[in-house]
């Protein structure tokens, strides 16, 4: 009977931690996806026609030193012409007799600066340079993306917080039930002079093992699930880097151990405080 009860505690704890891990993965995936989308939001600085290539490249080096720049790319007039000719299917030079396009610098902003307020400030700063003709970026798209990311993050955080509380409650009840059958043994040990620390120790060690083993099993199941997803969609590796996966796995392991140990500590103390007659009525 004891073995069946112990196995059920292992299985139930594993399932709870697995569910928590899935939610954690969804949260870090949403965060990674948001950063990935923001990195693709480029700010195009269009230079004036009379700006020389040497001056533009010097200006680019100045831009690269700014704290809001992740990367920059110089696009010459000839490159712009080639791209536009490919898109339009015809060469504008054949009709106009000259290249109508200007050189530009494409700036990729750091994640924390990819919002309308920061970009407006950056735009004002860049336009002070006499070589800059105009700055092009998709304001409405940036606002839409940031608003959607904010809403999704809030919803996921609420769900993750609720799931954490529910997980704490479920695992706590499982641990208490596993200790419940030993309440008379604990009382007997207390009567013969055993200290509370001596009585608690085996329960804490056992539940530490339960938390650790359940967390390892939950992480293995998550890894297997991610592997199956990766086989069908290899691109997920770019959204979920190894550091994020390690963070989730470590969080599950730490949460599993802490909650099992803490619940065991509190449950044992509760039974040790009770009088012998009270043990029959709980």
Per-residue pLDDT of 25-41, as tens digits, reads 888 887 777 777 777 77
Q: Are 161 and 246 in a shared domain?
A: yes
What percent of the chain is predicted at pLDDT more than 90? 7
Q: What's the pTM value of the predicted model, to 2 decimals?
A: 0.68
What pLDDT does residue 241 have?
Answer: 77
Q: Which of 119, 137, 155 is the last residue of a domain?
A: 137
CA dist., res. 9 & res. 17, Å (int): 12
111 and 47 in a single domain? The answer is yes
Angle between helices 2-39 and 139-180 (to 10 degrees): 170
Q: Which residues contact 256 (CB under 8 A, 6 or more apart)?
A: 13, 17, 171, 211, 212, 214, 215, 218
d(CA 215, CA 197): 26
Residues in Cβ contact with 260 at an 8 Å cutoff, skipping those fewer than 6 apart: 13, 171, 175, 207, 208, 210, 211, 214
Specify the pLDDT at position 250.
Answer: 93
Single out the residue of 258, 280, 260 nearest to residue 268, CA to CA: 260
Model pLDDT for residues 145-203, shown as the tens digit of each residue? 778 878 887 887 888 788 778 877 877 777 777 777 777 888 788 888 888 888 888 88
Can you give the pLDDT at residue 9? 78
Q: Do 88 and 215 belong together in one domain?
A: no
Identify whether residues 188 and 133 lie together within a single domain.
no
Q: Tens digit of pLDDT for each residue in 15-27?
A: 888 888 888 888 8
Q: Are residues 19 and 157 in the same domain?
A: yes
Same domain, 21 and 159: yes
Looking at residue 116, what is its pLDDT? 80
The total number of structural domains in the chain stands at 2
* Residue 1 binned pLDDT confidence (cut-offs 50, 70, 90): very low
62 and 26 in a single domain? The answer is no
The domain boundary residue, chosen from 90, 116, 137: 137
- Which CATH number is 75's domain given? 3.30.70.3040
Last residue of a domain, one of 137, 168, 193: 137
Three-state SS letters, 19-82: HHHHHHHHHHHHHHHHHHHHHCCEEEEEECCCCCHHHHHHHHHHHHCCCCEEEEEEECHHHHHH
Domain co-membership, 72 together with 98: yes
Examine the domain organization and report whether 192 and 84 are in the same domain: no
Structural domain span for residue 20: 2-36+146-281
Classify burial at 204, counting beta carbons within 10 Å of its beta carbon; exposed 0-12, middle 13-18, buried 19 or more.
middle
- Same domain for 76 and 23, yes or no, is no
Note whether 105 and 196 are same-domain residues. Answer: no
Q: Categorise residue 72: left if φ over 0, alpha if ψ from -120 to 50, beta otherwise.
A: beta
Asked if residue 88 and residue 21 are part of one domain, the reply reads: no
Query: What's the rounded Cα separation, in Å, for the pair 257 and 188?
Result: 28
pLDDT at 13 over 90: no
């Amino acid at each position: 009977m004891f073995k069946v009860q112990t196995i059920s505690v292992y299985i139930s704890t594993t399932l709870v931690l697995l569910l928590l891990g899935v939610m954690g993965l969804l949260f870090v995936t949403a965060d990674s996806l948001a950063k990935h989308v923001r990195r693709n939001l480029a700010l195009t600085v269009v230079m004036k026609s009379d700006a020389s290539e040497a001056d533009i490249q010097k200006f680019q080096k100045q831009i690269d030193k700014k704290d809001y720049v992740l990367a920059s790319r110089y696009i010459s007039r000839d490159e712009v012409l080639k791209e536009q000719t490919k898109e339009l299917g015809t060469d504008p030079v054949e009709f106009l007799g000259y290249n109508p396009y200007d050189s530009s610098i494409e700036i990729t902003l750091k994640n924390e600066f990819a919002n309308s307020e920061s970009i407006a400030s950056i735009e004002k700063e860049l336009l002070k340079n006499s070589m800059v003709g105009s700055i092009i970026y998709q304001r409405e798209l940036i606002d839409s993306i940031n608003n959607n990311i904010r809403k999704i993050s809030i919803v996921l955080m609420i769900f993750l917080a609720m799931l954490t509380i529910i997980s704490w409650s479920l695992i706590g009840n499982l641990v208490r039930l596993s200790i419940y059958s030993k309440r008379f043994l604990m009382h007997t040990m207390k009567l013969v002079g055993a200290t509370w620390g001596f009585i608690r120790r085996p329960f804490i060690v056992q539940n530490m093992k339960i938390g650790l083993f359940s967390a390892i099993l939950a992480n293995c199941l998550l890894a297997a699930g991610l592997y199956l997803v990766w086989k069908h969609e290899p691109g997920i590796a770019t959204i979920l880097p190894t550091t994020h996966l390690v963070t989730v796995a470590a969080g599950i392991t730490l949460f599993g151990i802490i909650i099992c140990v803490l619940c065991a500590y509190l449950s044992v103390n509760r039974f040790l405080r009770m009088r012998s007659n009270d043990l029959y009525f709980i």
